[in-house]
Amino acid sequence: MFSSKLTVCLAGLILLSAGVVYTQNYYGVQRLPFNTQSKELAPAFYGTGIVYCSDKKNNVIMSYTDLENNPLTNLYLVEQRKPGKFDNPRLFSKELTTLLFEGPATFSRDGKTIYFTRTINTSLSIRNRQLEDTTFGIFSANLVNGQWINITPFRFNRPEYNTGYPWLSDDGSKLYFCCDKPGGTGGFDIYVSTLENGLWGKPENLGESVNTPRNEVFPFLHQSGRLYFASRGHKPGEDLDIFHTAFVDSAWLRPVPLGEPFNTDNDDYGLILNAVMDTGYFVTDRAGTPDIFMAASTIPTFASCNKQEENDYCFVFYEPNNNELDTTAFAYEWDLGDGTLIRALEAEHCFAKPDTYMVQLNVIDKLTKEVYFSQASHTFIVEQIRQPYIVAPDTVVAGHEFTLSGCETHLPDFTIDGYYWDLGDGQRATGIEINHNFLFPGTYQLQLGVANRVADTGELLLKECVNRRIVVVNPVK
Amino acid sequence: MKYFFSLIFAVVLLTGASAQPVPASDENIPYLMTFGPKVETSWGDDDFSQTFFFLIPKSFNQPIYVRVYDPDIGGTVDELNGVFDTKMTYSVYGGKECYTHKDAQETQPKGNYKSGNLLASKTFGDQPNYDKNWYTFGPFNPSEGEFVPRFDGYIFKVICDGISGDDGNLYRYFLSAKMDENKAVEGANAFAYEYSFRMHENPVEVSHIYPFVDDRAISVKLSNFDWDSDGFIRTVSVARKGQLSKVSGEDNWIEDEFTIFTEEKNTSLDIQFIKRKSPAVKNNNVVVNVRNQYGELLPFYVIPIGGVPKYKYDIGTRKPVK
């Protein structure tokens, strides 16, 4: 809690310099109840529920194992009755379920097309339940009359190497996936294929800024344009961690690791986030086996925000008791208390900043030439508009970091416990001052909400918020 | 309402400042003026007579004196017209109807304007021993004046009449508690219904007279005579920051009527006489009176009732039009 703007601004700078402002710090995570002692992984949004992979024993299915005797995974669907409340999982689709490996999946926006990972070689002997050839590829299928049909292999599947972990962009035009084919940077690399005239184009490796000699897997392209993926190669250590990057100005940005509570010393991967990024799912081994965890934003949401009004410290000062009978020519000299003297019947003046000014009216009698000082005086308080206030440039360049500040917020009757930012591109942050980087040109709506909380319970007491626009332009070539 | 009116005057008389110089300092008038009757009115005097009333609070029971500065007509102060051949009579009246007779409260020396008991009188001509010197009338017992209940005090009337000649008499009064010095009579005041006075020669000097506006006034008519267009006549009040009036030219009267604001009732107006800076006009005399909508004259108190009125400036603010 801070009592003055100066203190607030200083505190904000301290927080910033301490590096506290990370978007992911403002999520709470929980292990979902449908997890088992088996593996649950690769969540994908499907309607209100989640489609995911699990290698749990299923009595209906006689399963194969890989050469290390690990059971193979199948696709399951778990419906969500209300946020955080899930039904019991069930097999996602009988048509798509085989004795072989069905792995990570992605869906078109309308939910009628699936791209999923599966063992390529389907002509395996049923007698040999320990697969020697588990090379996998990407397959697609269409939902027609409740049945998944037209199971079709991705045209770039090859039995010599693995192709999988598909993620379809929201507009359906790009398919991100992973492949360990020779010629990459090593291990699994992330590739992207673009739909051209109904055909997926030649995959392009995302390059060495994203891919490393080790594995990059589980790509997820958020609507904001941010690409999340898991990698073992972007920082020291053996565990998988989640990173994000974006394609800006014809290049992929250097991947940034998520902090806690997403990344830990265990394997963390497979992150997906909804459009407004207040809810997401990811996989982590932190409980011993791969489990799906839900991440929910702990940042308060703000509705019905007012448009931010610009502070205007301009006023007209006048002598209100003028009556029409007065015909003598007097001159008024206005001493506006900030060193400004204006000789006029009415004085229009813009103060530089909020403060308390002693405004005085000197009257000059044009007939006698006498000056009557301080015939009226007024303690004039110039205040900011009562509102949260976003300090930010009107226009910024895509891919360039800039600072947003809430330190000019003026809510004198309000003890602010938290500043909450919705940056309009799906990103959220907290703190009085934050740095941000818009990835793509466009017009975004910034939102700053402030709140105070009950000390004991943390319950929100008061909330105020404002919106304002910011224009993001392409960098000058 | 009458009670309120009386109360105002009673308060002024009992607690007011010592108000015996006539003209008083707030008026910044150098001299009263009365001409001999043989002069043309274009010299500035419309009637060759001037009446002042002096108020003595009932509680004051010591002798009082009316002292006249430069009572003669000659020497350096007075205004010469040819040779000094003017005679001027000063008369002090008290007793019944010295004030309350209607003719006493008029501007013109007509009818029984010399009402009341003549207490003292003296005629002066060109007498160097009184040039820039004082002559004292009295002593008078305050009770020799006319007791006027609404003032809660006694009134004496002093008339200066031009008897003969054509020169200008410039003089002042002092209501004194001492015969041979000017000692103020505590709580006293003085007033006239028509003011005839000499302007300063210095053009930066501003003279003032203070008519009292009672609560019956709806509008007033300001009349001035022979201002010779020497600058501006301006009215200031608690609600009026400076209203210019029509000004008279050579040897004529002019009237200017204006509405009284509610805030001006039971206050004094400040009628300012502002000389033109260039070309400078010298020896300018002016006669002024103010009547209400009933034609009743408003008294000019030498010490303004309620103090010198000041317009109350205020500061308003609004947002600029974008």
Over the stretch A356-380, which tens digit does the pLDDT of each residue have? Answer: 999 999 999 888 888 889 999 999 9
Characterize A373-392 residue by residue with b for buried, 16 or more Cβ atoms within 10 angstroms of its Cβ, and e for exposed: eebbebebebebeebbbbeb
* CA A172/CA A43 separation, integer angstroms: 18
Q: Nearest-CA distance from B235 to chain A in Å?
A: 9
pLDDT band for position A323 (cuts 50, 70, 90): low
Task: Confirm or reject contact between B204 and chain A (CB < 8 A).
Answer: yes
The pLDDT-based confidence of A133 (bands split at 50, 70, 90) is low
Nearest to A330 among B241, B315, B317 (CB): B241
Sort out which chain B residues have CB atoms less than 8 A from A348's CB and list them. 320
Return the pLDDT at B185.
93
Q: Binning pLDDT at 50, 70 and 90, where does residue A166 land?
A: very high
Highest-scoring range by mean pLDDT, A356-360, A440-444, B181-185: A356-360
C-alpha pair distances (Å), A64 with each of A72, A105, A121, A277: 6, 20, 13, 37
Residue A12 has pLDDT above 60, yes or no: no
Cα(A154)–Cα(A140) distance, integer angstroms: 7
Where is average pLDDT lowest: B11-15, B112-116, B183-187, B255-259? B11-15
Q: Could you give the C-alpha distances from A335 to A364, A376, B71, B181, in angstroms and in order?
A: 13, 10, 50, 48
Of B32, B275, B30, B24, which is closest to residue B168 (Cα–Cα)? Answer: B32
Residues 6+ apart with CB under 8 A from A328: A365, A366, A367, B232, B234, B241, B242, B243, B244
pLDDT for residue A56:
84
pLDDT one-digit tens code per residue, A38-72: 999 999 999 999 999 998 876 555 567 777 777 88
Mean pLDDT of B44-62: 94
User: Does position A415 have pLDDT exceeding 90, yes or no?
Assistant: no
Among A320, A321, A348, CA closest to A334: A348
Average pLDDT, chain A: 86
DSSP state, A338? S
pLDDT of residue A128: 55
CB pairs under 8 A between A and B: 77
CA-closest candidate to residue A293, choices A322, A332, A255, A264: A264
CA distance linking residue B303 with residue B26, whole number of Å: 7
Give residue A427's pLDDT: 80
Given the structure tokens 């009698």, which residue do they identify?
A365
Q: Are A27 and A277 in contact (CB under 8 A)?
A: no
CA distances in angstroms from A449 to A184, A392, A453, B111, B144, listed in the order given: 45, 15, 13, 88, 86
pLDDT given at position A132: 62
Burial B301-311 (b: 16+ CB within 10 A, else e): bbbbbbeebeb
Distance from CA of residue A455 to its chain's centroid? 28
Chain B residues inside the 8 Å CB shell of A326: 240-243
**Looking at the partner chain, which of B234, B315, B317 has a beta carbon nearest the beta carbon of A367?**
B234
The pLDDT of A399-406, averaged and rounded, is 94
CA A215 to CA A233: how far, in whole Å?
Answer: 7
Q: Which two three-digit tokens encode residue B213? A: 């506006």
**CB burial of residue A38 (10 Å; 0-12, 13-18, 19+):** middle
Domain A27-297 -> CATH class: mainly beta
Asked if domains A2-11+385-473 and A314-382 share a fold, the reply is yes
Its CATH architecture, for the domain A2-11+385-473, is Sandwich (2.60)
pLDDT for position A26: 73
Share of chain B above pLDDT 90, in %: 77
Q: What is the pLDDT of residue A127?
A: 54
Given A320, A323, A327, which is nearest B316 (Cβ)? Answer: A320
- Spatial separation of the C-alpha atoms in residues B70 and A238, rounded to whole Å: 118
Chain A nearest-CA distance from B94, in A, is 41
> What pLDDT shows up at residue A58?
66
Which of left, alpha, beta for A290 (phi over 0: left; psi -120 to 50: alpha)? beta
Residue B263 CB contacts under 8 Å (≥ 6 apart), including other chains: B237, B238, B239
**Is this complex's ipTM strictly greater than 0.90?**
no
CATH homologous superfamily of A314-382 equals Immunoglobulins (2.60.40.10)
Other CB atoms within 10 A of residue B133 CB: 14
Tell me the domain boundaries of chain A. Answer: 2-11+385-473, 27-297, 314-382
Cis, bond preceding A261 (omega within 30 deg of 0): yes
- pTM for the full predicted model: 0.60
CB contact under 8 A, A328 and B232: yes
Residue with tokens 């309120």: B4
The reply to whether B28 touches chain A by the CB within 8 Å rule is: no
Instruction: Say if the Cβ atoms of A348 and B320 lie within 8 Å.
Output: yes
Question: pLDDT value at position B195?
Answer: 94
Residues of B in contact with A363 (CB under 8 A): 241, 313
Report pLDDT for A130. 56
**What pLDDT, on the 0 to 100 scale, is given for residue A325?**
56
